Amino acid sequence: MKKKITIGIIILFGLILIWRIGVLIFSSGADDSKRSGRPPVAVEIDSIQFGQITEIRNLTGTVFPEYRYVIAPKVTGRITAIYKRIGDWVNSGELVAKIDDAEYQQNVIEAEANLKIAEASLTEARIQFELASQEKERVVLLQEKGIASPSELDAAISNYSAQESRYQLALAQVDQRKAALKSASIRLGYTRLTASQAGFIGERFVDEGALLAPNAAVVSVLGIDSVIVRTTIIERDYGYIKKGQKAWVMVDAFAGHRFPGTVSRIAPMLQQDARVAQMELTVVNDSLFLKPGMFARVEVKTAEKDNAQQVPSRAVVNREGHSGVYIVKEGENIAHFITVTVGISGPEFTEIITPELEGRVITLGQHLLDEGSPVILPQSGGGAQHEDKESVR
């Protein structure tokens, strides 16, 4: 009997031992299952703020003068003097260079003499014409009284017609000589090369003593009180840039200086090969810092809002084709993915049109997160440092 009791106790202890081992194995499996989940992710956060936001398009281009023209002679001659050098200012109508004019002055003198001869011939022809007219009238009266013969009348009429023709010829010769004198005077004036518009001398192509042909360049004149920056815009940006938009121009020669300008012209077509359109900006250049030929970096303001909900641009991520942000609500350490509608986007901040966000946005570590992922928030620094200067919603 005792033997049976002993065996029963041993069996009971064995069952209890088996049960205990099973409990331990099950608990260990559960712990392993929990430990196999994703651990919390250390992230950086920043505030959601409201304020002005601007959309900027960055372009590159070249500075050109508002106008540029070349002073060149219209006649052949040897240049005797150039009164301006590069960088000099020239007023409108100011004498810039002079060509040897001895031959052209002689042509004017000759034309004046020919005009005097023609005027003298005209005077003589007018007198002869008046005499012939008086003679014709006298013969007509005598013919009516029967004193003059028909042949005398015919002779008087013929002489009158001849003198009239000579008089008309003399008038035409005077006009011709006047035209010749004017032409000679104009050609004499071409020996004086003047500026048609005020500006700076940009280039000087010849020196005194050079023999010039017609249209040979002497100097170029630039107008740079305002300058034009020419650039191109790609097809993607074409619909965002409009005439009249504000812009800023930067050049390497004056680092840190931003020159305000305005979009003044946009080509109505895109170049087929490059798929870009030409664009011009007008920049007031009162300081004269901007010089033609400079390489320019251009920022064009394409959109602006005064009170926009915005987050740091690095907080916006794309998940399965949708833009969104990870939000950490106050008092929580859980990341929530919120799908958003993005508006104006810049290098630092991006506008969130909808929905209105609450909490703080995660700006670093989003690629390791899913909806509901636990996160480790910074204890100091990070997003907290923005509270002094950013409005938190």
pLDDT tens for each residue of 212-232: 999 999 999 999 999 999 999
- 307 pLDDT above the threshold of 60: yes
- 388 pLDDT above the threshold of 50: no
Q: What is the mean pLDDT of residues 298-303?
A: 90
**pTM for this entry:** 0.67
**Per the structure block, which two tokens stand in for 56?**
């900027």
Q: Do residue 252 and residue 328 come from a single domain?
A: no
- 113 pLDDT above the threshold of 60: yes
Distance CA 247, CA 233 (A): 14
Q: What is the mean pLDDT of residues 70-74?
A: 96
Q: Do residue 210 and residue 236 come from a single domain?
A: no
Considering the chain, what percentage of its residues have pLDDT values greater than 90? 64
Distance CA 296, CA 384 (A): 39
Q: What is the CATH number of the domain that holds 82?
A: 2.40.50.100
Q: Do residue 139 and residue 256 come from a single domain?
A: no
Residue 118 lies in a domain: yes
Distance CA 43, CA 41 (A): 6
Bridge partner list, 41: 375
Q: What is the mean pLDDT of residues 316-341?
A: 91
Per-residue pLDDT tens over the stretch 235-258: 988 988 999 999 999 999 999 899
Indicate the number of domains in the chain.
4
**173 in Cβ contact with 115 (< 8 Å):** no
Distance CA 386, CA 150 (A): 123
Q: What is the mean pLDDT of residues 78-90?
A: 95
DSSP 374: B
Tell me, what's the pLDDT at 227?
A: 97
**Region at 74 (left for phi over 0; alpha for psi -120 to 50; beta for the rest):** alpha
**Region at 357 (left for phi over 0; alpha for psi -120 to 50; beta for the rest):** beta
**309 in Cβ contact with 351 (< 8 Å):** yes
Averaged pLDDT of the chain: 87
Residue 276 lies in a domain: yes
Give the model's confidence band at 8: pLDDT under 50 very low, under 70 low, under 90 confident, else very high. low
Query: Phi/psi of residue 84, each to 5°?
Result: -130, 150
Residue 30 lies in a domain: no
**264 in Cβ contact with 282 (< 8 Å):** yes
Count of beta carbons in the 10 Å neighbourhood of residue 46: 21
**Residue whose pair of structure tokens reads 């901040």 in the numeric block:** 349
Of residues 381 and 270, the one with the higher pLDDT is 270
* Owning domain of residue 239: 222-304
